[in-house]
């Protein structure tokens, strides 16, 4: 590794994680949740989701302590407990979700800028594609200057994106109307807690809450670039506390300034209209600027992650050697080029037909749950081995696994089934990597798993052709 590489400190890791998680979702979360839940069920859904992801975070923190030699842990932890093939699919699922999400973030950023500069329209016209493309490659060459330099730039962006959110939260706390907040708190006929009516609201709201926590493991992904492994665990916990606090305060307090129906019918970004209802036009301007900065910040952090995950996977011999090339600053040049080249391709495709990207992005949103599930399962398995009993750690691993399984179930079986269309051809990368290192491609269990993935892909194609699965309505 180059001696010119400068490592990332605690604040840099926290900024990377917060920036990669708090993207565009928080700015519309209050409206998304209000469509299916009132204030009480929304609060419970966020708390349950926070607890579920919090347990997952504790698993990651303990993994970091027990296996400090592992880098880019979101997939290497899955590999440690479940084998190379599971590790590969976890890495592939994570990378797919990250790089396709970057396309959406670029479009969102320029859509927000369109509020101030109408030339950018809805974020998918020619001006937006040109602007997003220029910004993409500015990010690319900035990241090539090394992890510490890029993390410092990201830290500045993170501070800039948190300022509008902080102003929004403080404004709503000051404007908090307790009577409005409690008027329809449970969303039931008599506003009493009736589980038969509250439960379905919580379940539906949780589906919206799941996705806004994606990326909370960011500090682990960049652990190889950290000053030391001890700060990674602290960065994970601190980031999670900041992220959860933002979501709870920004979302729940919105029910104290507008009614549930009003929140549910807001255009995007809903936070801008909530702020405007309290302070006037300048509030909408502030939040729209925040959306643009937040999307760009999240995009920048996730661009760093997209190259890092391919590079670390190649180091662990589950991706081809092709992705191992570095420059003098120890930046993963080929991995970044491939990731950003694909992002550029999808930007250009938006000008011709956005259906292909929309379909791929739909699949990618589900692929992130694959590594989360296998990391949780791996933690439960390895904790049993380490502790030799049903310990607290085993229990946490089981709870995290159940929670991730529920999230996959809640997203719908068609989403999970159709994601095999991404994993099946991806196996060619795994086969190439194994052969490059003269290793057995599949053991018996892995071969059976590969067959299931291929069968799932073939079944998905069949069900789409006969109309059973309608991808335009997923």
Tens-binned pLDDT, residue by residue, of the chain (474 aa): 444 556 778 887 887 778 777 777 788 889 989 998 999 999 999 999 888 888 898 888 888 888 887 765 578 889 999 999 999 999 898 898 888 888 888 888 888 898 899 999 878 889 999 999 999 999 999 989 876 776 777 778 888 888 999 999 999 999 999 999 998 899 987 888 989 899 989 988 887 777 778 777 766 666 666 777 678 778 888 888 888 899 999 999 999 999 999 999 998 789 999 999 999 999 999 999 988 888 888 888 888 888 888 998 898 888 999 999 998 888 899 999 999 999 999 888 878 766 655 666 666 667 888 889 999 999 999 999 998 888 899 999 999 999 999 888 877 778 778 888 889 999 999 999 999 999 999 999 999 999 999 999 999 999 988 888 776 666
Rounded CA-CA distance 206/409 in Å is 12
| Residue 156 CB neighbours (<10 A) | 11
The pLDDT, as a whole number, for residue 137 is: 96
CA-angle at 380, arms to 225 and 247, nearest 5°:
60
Instruction: Identify the burial level of 280 via C-beta atoms within 10 angstroms of its C-beta, where 0-12 means exposed, 13-18 middle and 19 or more buried.
Output: exposed
**For tokens 């976890």, what's the residue?**
90
The pLDDT, as a whole number, for residue 98 is: 85
The pLDDT, as a whole number, for residue 37 is: 93
The pLDDT, as a whole number, for residue 255 is: 96
| Residue 196 CB neighbours (<10 A) | 7
| Residue 179 CB neighbours (<10 A) | 7
Q: What is the assigned CATH class of domain 10-412?
A: mainly alpha
- Cβ pair 111, 128 in contact under 8 A: yes
């Amino acid at each position: 590794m180059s001696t010119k590489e400068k490592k990332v400190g605690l604040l840099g890791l926290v900024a990377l994680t917060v920036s990669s998680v708090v993207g565009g979702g928080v700015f519309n979360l209050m409206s998304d949740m209000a469509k299916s839940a009132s204030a009480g069920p929304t609060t419970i859904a966020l708390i349950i989701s926070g607890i579920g992801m919090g347990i997952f975070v504790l698993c990651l923190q303990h993994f970091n302590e027990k296996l400090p030699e592992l880098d880019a842990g979101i997939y290497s932890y899955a590999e440690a407990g479940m084998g190379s093939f599971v590790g590969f699919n976890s890495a592939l699922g994570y990378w797919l979700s990250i790089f396709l999400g970057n396309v959406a973030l670029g479009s969102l950023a320029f859509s927000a800028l369109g509020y101030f500069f109408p030339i950018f329209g809805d974020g998918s016209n020619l001006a937006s594609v040109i602007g997003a493309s220029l910004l993409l490659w500015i990010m690319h060459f900035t990241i090539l200057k090394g992890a510490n330099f890029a993390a410092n730039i990201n830290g500045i962006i993170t501070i800039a994106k948190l300022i509008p959110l902080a102003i929004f939260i403080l404004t709503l706390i000051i404007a908090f109307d307790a009577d409005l907040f409690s008027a329809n708190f449970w969303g039931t006929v008599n506003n009493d807690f009736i589980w038969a009516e509250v439960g379905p609201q919580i379940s539906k709201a949780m589906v919206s809450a799941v996705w806004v926590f994606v990326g909370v493991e960011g500090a682990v992904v960049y652990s190889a670039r950290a000053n030391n492994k001890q700060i990674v665990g602290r960065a994970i916990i601190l980031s999670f506390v900041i992220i959860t606090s933002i979501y709870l305060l920004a979302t729940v307090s919105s029910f104290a300034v507008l009614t549930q129906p009003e929140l549910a019918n807001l255009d995007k970004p809903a936070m801008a209209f909530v702020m405007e209802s309290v302070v006037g036009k300048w509030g909408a301007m502030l939040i729209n600027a925040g959306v643009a900065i937040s999307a760009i910040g999240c995009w920048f952090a996730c661009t760093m992650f997209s190259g890092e995950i391919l590079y670390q996977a190649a180091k662990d011999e589950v991706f081809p050697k092709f992705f191992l090339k570095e420059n003098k600053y120890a930046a993963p040049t080929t991995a970044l080029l491939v990731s950003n080249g694909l992002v550029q391709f999808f930007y250009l495709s938006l000008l011709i037909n956005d259906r292909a990207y929309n379909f791929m992005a739909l699949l990618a949103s589900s692929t992130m749950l694959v590594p989360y599930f296998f990391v949780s399962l791996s933690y439960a398995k390895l904790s049993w081995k380490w502790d030799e009993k049903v310990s607290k750690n085993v229990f946490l691993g089981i709870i995290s696994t159940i929670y991730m399984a529920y999230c996959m179930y809640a997203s719908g079986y068609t989403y999970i089934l159709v994601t095999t269309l991404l994993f099946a051809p991806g196996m060619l990368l795994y086969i190439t990597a194994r052969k490059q290192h003269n290793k057995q491609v599949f053991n018996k269990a892995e071969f059976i798993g590969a067959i299931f993935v291929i069968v799932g892909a073939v079944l998905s194609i069949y069900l789409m052709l006969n109309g059973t699965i309608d991808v335009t309505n997923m």
